[in-house]
Amino acid sequence: MLLVADIGNTETVFGARDSGGGIVRRWRIRSDPRRTPDEVGVLVRQLLEALPGGAAACEALCVASVVPNFTDVLAEASERHLGLPLREFRWSGELGIRLDVDEPERVGPDRVANALGAHLAYPGPAIVVDFGTATTFDVVAEDGTFLGGAIAPGIQVAAASLFSHTALLPRIGFGVPETVIGRTTVENLQIGVFVGASLMVDGLVERIRAEWEPEARAVATGGLAARFASRCAKLDLIDADLTLKGIGWGHDRLYPSRA
């Protein structure tokens, strides 16, 4: 079994991939580089005990990371507590897709994984909307080429920013009022953050389709996809494991002799 991980700015998502390429279990931990390798190693090993065969069932660990400091911690943790060397998912010609952008070296590996995952799981032109710390829009051509996209503030980041930068506004939980004219401060905030975000997502997907490919399939993924994507009218489907699937397929192509 292959262990894959998407190391994001807020959380690291682990997934156990079976021989068919599906993600059969998943776990989340904080991407905190202040943790020691022993802390992280013990935690991950405990989580893996939920698998048949436990941690010993994992043959390799492949990660896509945008947090180098935590990657170093996880690499040492994996070697010490799982007996697995960390293999990094990165763009390479071996992936079989291109990065047709002006700054390919600055494209995050998570977005590359999204492009590869969308290309293999949903053939045809696609727009991947990833609901994470940031909300990213990845435009993927029919041949798998990453064409660019957009990056917007994540929903939770936007909500937290309002709370931390204003003296009188309260912290809010996830909620979408039925009306867009709020009668309480909390309703006003929920409408502005959550309804506003859904309109932003729909608007950008619609504009991308109009500018590029009207029939492009819009796929939602990321930590908030399951809770939020159903509020967006322009998204076609939800695949919360798309990034992890892309990392797994990338591992097979980057490390074929070890897959």
Mean pLDDT of 115-144: 96
The DSSP element (H or E) to which 26 belongs, if any, is strand 23-30
Q: What is the CA radius of gyration of the chain?
A: 19
In a domain, 255, yes or no: no
In a domain, 252, yes or no: no
Tell if the pTM clears 0.75, that is, is over it: yes
**Could you report the per-residue pLDDT of 32-91, keeping only the tens digit for each?**
999 999 999 999 999 999 898 888 999 999 999 999 999 999 999 999 999 999 999 999
| Model pLDDT, residue 171 | 65
Query: Which of 78-82, 91-95, 155-159, 245-249 has the lowest average pLDDT?
Result: 155-159
**Could you report the per-residue pLDDT of 156-197, keeping only the tens digit for each?**
776 676 666 565 456 666 677 778 888 888 888 888 888 888
Query: Which of 100-114, 130-144, 182-196 has the lowest average pLDDT?
Result: 182-196
Domain extent, residue 179, equals: 93-246
| Model pLDDT, residue 7 | 96
In a domain, 258, yes or no: no
Q: What angle do CA 233, 234, 237 make, to 5 degrees?
A: 95
Mean pLDDT of 239-251: 96
Does the annotation mark 252 as catalytic?
no
Distance of CA 135 to the CA centre of its chain: 9
- Of 58, 60, 37, 38, give the one whose Cα is nearest residue 48: 58
Of 32, 100, 110, 138, the active-site residue reads 110
| Model pLDDT, residue 169 | 58
Asked whether residue 77 falls in the same domain as residue 134, the answer is no
The DSSP element (H or E) to which 160 belongs, if any, is helix 155-165
In a domain, 257, yes or no: no
- Who contacts 55 (Cβ-Cβ below 8 Å, separation ≥6)? 44, 45, 48, 49, 81, 82
Asked whether residue 129 falls in the same domain as residue 143, the answer is yes
Indicate which CATH number applies to the domain containing 100.
Answer: 3.30.420.40
Asked whether residue 98 falls in the same domain as residue 222, the answer is yes
Number of structural domains found in the chain: 2
